[in-house]
Structure 1
Amino acid sequence: MKLKTALLATALTSAAFAVSAQEVTVMSWGGAYTKSQVEAYHKPFTAETGIKVNSVDADNPATPIKAQVEAGNVSIDVADVEFSDAVRLCDEGLLEEIDPAILSAAPDGTAATDDFIDGALQDCAVANIVWSTSVAYNTANVSMAPSSIADFFDTGKIPGKRGLRKSAKATLEMALMGDGVPANEVYDVLDTDEGVDRAFAVLDRIKSDIVWWEAGAQPPQLLADGEVVMSTAYNGRIFNAAVAEGQPFEIMWDGQILDFDLFVVPKGAPNKDAAMQFIAFSTSTQALADQAKWISYGPARKSSGALVGLYQDGKTEMAPHMPTSEAALKNALVNNFEFWVDKDAELNERFNAWLAN
């Protein structure tokens, strides 16, 4: 009897250890964004499930997925990627499909499939945030505050260096809007040879004044150091620098480009089941609302909106700082992921050739 009891105790201890030893590796973008995920997702998930979350960062988490899957050596369980990358990687068979049935319903019982914003659920991806690439400036360093996207491309009107992401995506769209193309016509224009030429002609005007950035942490640093007077940037990074760090930064919303970030699971993820658990937990109504306490990105679920309140400082209302606020949406462009899935290689080849000249 004692032997059976001992064996049972050993078995239970081993089972408990197996649960506690579970882990999941989540790759994201770093900085204030990763911090918001750690606070709203990682820590509560571990507290509820006992599953450890290993947080790793990359300049673009989509990049290592292809290499790891094709090499058969996958170390990432969950990655946070941009919309066009999620669709492309799924089409290439590099991601696991995600069954929407694993996602929790809204508090009022609304099914997840009806609660997420249109487009937020894809075959291999579940969105968590709505974010934007927008123009930010340091109030201490500009001769006058920019009021339109055209001002970004007019160094005669507002002298000084400009920061731009070293990528065709978002850069070409902003160039066209800066040249007077209405937001709702941008992709029609960019889908023509003449439109592409027009976008590069706009960039030509300021080429000698551009400082290129690749990681999201760079624009706030460039603005703080005075290396540029304004820069495109991820809106949440600028919010964090301004509100949490007291930098004299402002966002000029005109011409912003809205996008989703989505969670994906690379094909062959070593901890696939735990990865799916993590995604289901992190995209619940409350978790998405909780993230907004840490950074100014809009939740991808409708039911989360009413739960968004104050920033972690207990005094800053988050709603006006969201890229989805009424004021921010006056001249906003929603990223056309289908366009970029089709045109990414072609336009980046042209962009890189232009950079080299």
Structure 2
Amino acid sequence: MTIPVVARNTAAFASDRLAGSGEVIVQSVGGGFTQGIRKYVWDPFTKTTGIKIIDLIADVAEPQVKAMNAAGRVDWDVAFIQGSQYPTMDAAGMFAPIDYSVWDAESLERVPAAVRLKNGVAVFGTAQLLAYGGRRVASHRSCS
């Protein structure tokens, strides 16, 4: 999703290139996440461009996006897709390409090239770590 880049970084450029009317329908997960993204991304984007963001709440997007694709009917413009689901859905042709030419160089520089995909942008990453304590734990021996 690239709207945050435009909304935060170059409002003047966005105003010139994206000014208009209409709406963009975005799937969101609700709660504090939606409240935060609405306040810091959607509302500034709407103020800058005049384009209204409508956020629809759905716990997970993938089943709905697959159903829309199968029905040949798209109800959402933007969805948060799990990274593990993206390759299969991308291979099935479920996403439209992004025209990066509508963003100025300054905005694109702030988004690492590795996360700018042909039809999506990674918006956050996570990691899991396995850690252990420094003291040795006694082992159990089994008798045979």
* TM-score category, normalised to shorter length: 0.5 to 0.7
Give the C-alpha shift of residue 96 in structure 1: 0.3
2:119 to 113, 121, 124: 124
What secondary structure, in the 3-state scheme, does the structure 2 residue paired with 1:53 have? Answer: strand
Task: Tell me the residue number matched to 2:28.
Answer: 28
Distance 1:150 1:63 in 2: 37
> Unpaired runs of 5+ in structure 2?
1-19, 134-144
User: In structure 2, what residue type is equivalent to 1:67?
Assistant: A
User: In structure 2, what residue type is equivalent to 1:54?
Assistant: I
Richer in helix (by share): 1
Q: CA separation of 1:51/1:88 partners in 2, compared to 1, >3 Å: closer, same or farther?
A: same
Taking structure 2 as the reference length, the TM-score comes to 0.66
User: In structure 1, what residue type is equivalent to 2:105?
Assistant: A
User: In structure 1, what residue type is equivalent to 2:118?
Assistant: D
Task: Tell me the residue number matched to 2:72.
Answer: 72
Task: Tell me the residue number matched to 2:83.
Answer: 83
Distance 1:91 1:74 in 2: 17
Q: Percent identity?
A: 28
Give the C-alpha shift of residue 78 in structure 1: 0.8
Distance 1:37 1:131 in 2: 18
What secondary structure, in the 3-state scheme, does the structure 1 residue paired with 2:106 have? Answer: coil
Richer in strand (by share): 1
Give the C-alpha shift of residue 69 in structure 1: 1.4
Instruction: Point out 4+ residue stretches in structure 1 off by more than 4 angstroms.
Output: 148-151
| Aligned pairs (5 A) from 1:312-331 | none
Give the C-alpha shift of residue 45 in structure 1: 1.1
Q: Which has the larger radius of gyration?
A: 1
Distance 1:104 1:82 in 2: 27
User: In structure 2, what residue type is equivalent to 1:34?
Assistant: T
Contact 1:86 1:124 in 2 (8 A): no
Give the C-alpha shift of residue 119 in structure 1: 2.6
Distance 2:82 2:50 in 1: 29
* 2:106 corresponds to 1:106: yes
Distance 2:100 2:90 in 1: 15
Give the C-alpha shift of residue 94 in structure 1: 0.8
> Unpaired runs of 5+ in structure 1?
1-18, 135-147, 152-357
Give the C-alpha shift of residue 33 in structure 1: 1.6
What secondary structure, in the 3-state scheme, does the structure 1 residue paired with 2:73 have? Answer: coil
Distance 2:127 2:38 in 1: 21
Distance 1:132 1:35 in 2: 24
User: In structure 1, what residue type is equivalent to 2:93?
Assistant: G
Give the C-alpha shift of residue 150 in structure 1: 5.7
**Deviations, residues 304-328 of structure 1 (Å, cap 9, x unaligned):** xxxxxxxxxxxxxxxxxxxxxxxxx
Distance 2:24 2:119 in 1: 18
Task: Tell me the residue number matched to 2:43.
Answer: 43
Q: CA separation of 1:104/1:87 partners in 2, compared to 1, >3 Å: closer, same or farther?
A: farther
Q: May I ask how many residue pairs the two structures share in their alignment?
A: 114
Q: CA separation of 1:84/1:73 partners in 2, compared to 1, >3 Å: closer, same or farther?
A: same
Q: CA separation of 1:86/1:101 partners in 2, compared to 1, >3 Å: closer, same or farther?
A: farther
Task: Tell me the residue number matched to 2:52.
Answer: 52
